[in-house]
A and B are shown apart, each in its own frame.
Chain A
Amino acid sequence: MTTSYMHLVRPNVSAPAASSAASSCNVKIHTSALFQILEILSKQVLSNNSSGTSSKRIIGTLLGLRSDDGSEFEVRDAFMVTCTETGDSIAIDEQTHKQMYQLYKKAHPKESVLGWFGSSNQVDSTTALIHDFYSKGSDRSFPYPAIYLNVDYQSEQDLKLPELTTYIGAAIAGQNNGPTRIGWKLINQTSSYVFTPIPNQVITKSITEKLALNKLNEIGPAQNELLLSSSDSSKQLNHLTLQLQAVGLTIESLLNYIKEHKNGNDDDSIDLLRLLSNNLLNRPQRLSNLEELESKFKAYNQDVIMIEYLTKAVKEQIELSARLTAEADKK
Chain B
Amino acid sequence: MQSVIIVEQELKDSVKGYGQILDTANENKSRSESLDKYIDQEGKITDKLGLSNEIFESIVDLAKLSDKEFEPTFNLAVYILIELTGSMTEVLDKYPTLLTQLTNINPAKQPTLRDRKSIKASSILSLLNNIFNFLPETSKYRIEVVSKILSIVKDSQLNFNIVSQAIGQNLVQWLTTAGASEDEIRSIFWQFISLDNVEYSLETLQVIKKFTSNYKVVKLEELHSLIDFAFKTEVVDVSFLVNSNVSEAIQQYKSSDELVALFDKYVHGEIIQSPSQYPSVTEKSKILALTKFFAESNGVFVFKYADFPSTLVSSPIELETLLIKSIKAGVIEGKLNQLNESFYLTRANRFVLAGSSEDNTKNWEAVEKVLHDWKNSLHNIKDIVNTSRENIVNNQG
- Segment with Cβ contacts to B, from A29-37, A61-69, A245-253, A313-321: A245-253
Contact yes or no, A22 B120, CB < 8 A: yes
State whether the Cβ of B208 lies closer than 8 Å to any Cβ in chain A.
no
Contact yes or no, A9 B122, CB < 8 A: yes
Mark out the residues of chain A between 190 and 226 whose CB falls within 8 Å of any chain B CB in the assembled complex.
190-197
Kindly provide the distance from the CB of A9 to the nearest chain B CB, expressed in whole angstroms: 5
A6-B167 contact, Cβ under 8 Å, with A175-B14, A282-B348, A285-B370: yes
Contact yes or no, A284 B346, CB < 8 A: yes
State whether the Cβ of B123 lies closer than 8 Å to any Cβ in chain A.
yes
Name the residue among A173, A193, A254 with the largest chain B CB count within 10 angstroms: A173
Kindly provide the distance from the CB of A267 to the nearest chain B CB, expressed in whole angstroms: 4
Point out the residue from B18, B165, B170, B353 that lies within 8 Å of A173, measured CB to CB: B18
Point out the residue from A125, A173, A247, A288 that lies within 8 Å of B373, measured CB to CB: A288
Of all chain B residues, the one with the shortest Cβ separation from A178 is B20
Counting chain A residues whose Cβ lies within 8 A of the other chain, the interface size class is: 35 or more
- Segment with Cβ contacts to A, from B127-135, B193-201, B307-315, B320-328: B127-135
Contact yes or no, A279 B347, CB < 8 A: yes
Residues of B within 8 A of A241 (CB): 382
- Segment with Cβ contacts to A, from B89-97, B179-187, B256-264, B383-391: B383-391
* Per-residue contact bits, chain A 40-77, to B (CB 8 Å; 1 contact, 0 not): 00000000000000000000000000000000000000
Contact yes or no, A170 B173, CB < 8 A: no
Residues of A within 8 A of B8 (CB): 125, 128-129, 190-192
State whether the Cβ of A4 lies closer than 8 Å to any Cβ in chain B.
yes
State whether the Cβ of A38 lies closer than 8 Å to any Cβ in chain B.
no
Contact yes or no, A12 B68, CB < 8 A: yes
Q: Count A-B contacts at CB 8 Å.
A: 264
Residues of A within 8 A of B149 (CB): 8
A193-B133 contact, Cβ under 8 Å, with A173-B21, A173-B75, A277-B363: no
State whether the Cβ of A24 lies closer than 8 Å to any Cβ in chain B.
yes
A128 to B372, CA, bound (A): 61
State whether the Cβ of A160 lies closer than 8 Å to any Cβ in chain B.
no
Name the residue among B8, B18, B23, B388 with the largest chain A CB count within 10 angstroms: B8
A194-B4 contact, Cβ under 8 Å, with A2-B173, A251-B374: yes
In the complex, how many residues of chain B place their beta carbon closer than 8 angstroms to a beta carbon of chain A?
Answer: 93
State whether the Cβ of A7 lies closer than 8 Å to any Cβ in chain B.
yes
Residues of A within 8 A of B373 (CB): 285, 287-288
A10 to B213, CA, bound (A): 32
State whether the Cβ of A281 lies closer than 8 Å to any Cβ in chain B.
yes
Contact yes or no, B376 A8, CB < 8 A: no
Point out the residue from A7, A22, A123, A173 that lies within 8 Å of B72, measured CB to CB: A173
A2 to B126, CA, bound (A): 20
Kindly provide the distance from the CB of B170 to the nearest chain A CB, expressed in whole angstroms: 5
Contact yes or no, B384 A283, CB < 8 A: no
Contact yes or no, A265 B363, CB < 8 A: no
Dominant secondary structure at the B interface: helix
Point out the residue from A176, A284, A288 that lies within 8 Å of B376, measured CB to CB: A288
A174 to B21, CA, bound (A): 9
Point out the residue from B68, B244, B352, B384 that lies within 8 Å of A277, measured CB to CB: B352
State whether the Cβ of A107 lies closer than 8 Å to any Cβ in chain B.
no
* Per-residue contact bits, chain A 1-35, to B (CB 8 Å; 1 contact, 0 not): 11111111111101000000011100000000000
Residues of B within 8 A of A175 (CB): 9, 13-14, 16-17, 20
- Segment with Cβ contacts to A, from B45-53, B278-286, B354-362: B354-362
Residues of B within 8 A of A123 (CB): 4, 6
State whether the Cβ of A310 lies closer than 8 Å to any Cβ in chain B.
no
State whether the Cβ of B317 lies closer than 8 Å to any Cβ in chain A.
no
Contact yes or no, A11 B126, CB < 8 A: yes
Known: A187-B68, A197-B3, A284-B301. 4 other contacts (CB 8 A): A4-B174, A22-B120, A180-B24, A193-B6
Please list the 3 inter-chain residue pairs (A to B) with the smallest Cβ-Cβ separation, ordered nearest first: A22-B122, A175-B17, A12-B71
Q: Which residues of A contact B (CB under 8 A)?
A: 1-12, 14, 22-24, 123-125, 127-129, 165, 170-176, 180-182, 184, 187-188, 190-197, 237, 240-241, 244, 247-248, 251-252, 254-255, 258, 262, 265-267, 270-271, 273-274, 276-285, 287-290, 293-294, 297-298, 301, 305
Q: Which residues of B contact A (CB under 8 A)?
A: 1-9, 13-14, 16-18, 20-21, 23-25, 68-69, 71-73, 75-76, 79, 120, 122-123, 125-126, 129-130, 132-133, 137, 149, 162-163, 165-167, 169-170, 173-174, 177, 213, 239-240, 243-244, 294-295, 298, 301, 345-350, 352-355, 357, 360-361, 363-364, 366-368, 370-378, 380-382, 384-386, 388, 391-392
Q: 15 A-B residue contacts at CB 8 Å? A: A3-B1, A24-B165, A171-B72, A175-B13, A175-B17, A175-B20, A182-B20, A182-B25, A197-B3, A241-B382, A251-B374, A258-B371, A270-B360, A283-B347, A305-B392
